[in-house]
Structure 1
């Protein structure tokens, strides 16, 4: 089992873009159309030093911004933490991992960041579930409220399967909060969200191409942290 913390790639992309602009602005004064610099070498060096200093400050600020956001946690759906094929049932190994490692990660993040919600997203590979009939519409709410075991849900698609697995993790976290007196900063009813991405998104964030072959690297549970805020309705 390996946990991956997804980096804030957009911040570093912005940094790289600004740095390239700095380089191009300096090189622009030395093009073939203008072979002589606009300033003397001493003035040009001073300008470069100032831009480099500003770039270093920006880099430091972006590094600080990273500390404002909690990491995303990936539970890889392979090896001893894999779900049974086509099922949302939690294996003993996965339950043990949730009760020990995952709960501690959640508690640490809630202590460190201004968040109040755990979002659990189920991802699958592109192979067909093989069950043409889904009873998700009839059973999902009952399973979420605890009136029906998750094992009674029959997925009819990968979107179904991803949601069932995410819900299974959420239900286990809710059970731990209720029975083991842990995760006390979370609300048992509103602090957990279960979603499905099905087979849509690859681990690198790109949309997947059609691929019906088994691929354990695409099967995963993603844990994200967020904070509920006032909502507005688009007009």
Structure 2
């Protein structure tokens, strides 16, 4: 990427870093929540479903402001974490947290649809043979839901790469620290002569987004074929 300047490359590298960690840390929780919504019946299930999808409905700025209130150094959660040296506000870790929350609904939805497509009779058959619920999940549900898990992770990564509203509200737009691709595009468009740099980052965003969609389709089909024995 020699055609990218130093500032542009920093934004791309930071976006990749933020998106990677946002996806990695949210994936186990995403699988758990998707499985709970698909298979369990419990009080408050619809409330949980609503909370999971709330970031899709709320303005991203509102989500970022709520994160600032809760995870800022004076917030109820952020204040406690700050005592242990864990700070999210105005740090790249905060950008990863904001990106994870904004991408979480897409991840959960993809995984849940994959689990919903699995015939419950297959899981029940394993249970009748004496397998524990955890063993059934690990040997039956998880392998068959793998295409959806992979697709959900890739879509979440792409969404995290493009997150702007919640991120800039929670961690601001600090060059080299919290300036991701969307924030850098916004910054470049505010200064004279910055259109060329902004366009380069727009091209990177389009390439990453399209690549993620195509990759999720290809990997999902290959994994589904292997699981199905075709």
TM-score w.r.t. structure 2 length?
0.29
TM-score w.r.t. structure 1 length?
0.28
Q: Of Structure 1 and Structure 2, which has the larger fraction of its residues in helix?
A: 2
Q: Of Structure 1 and Structure 2, which has the larger fraction of its residues in strand?
A: 1
Give the structure with higher Rg (CA): 1
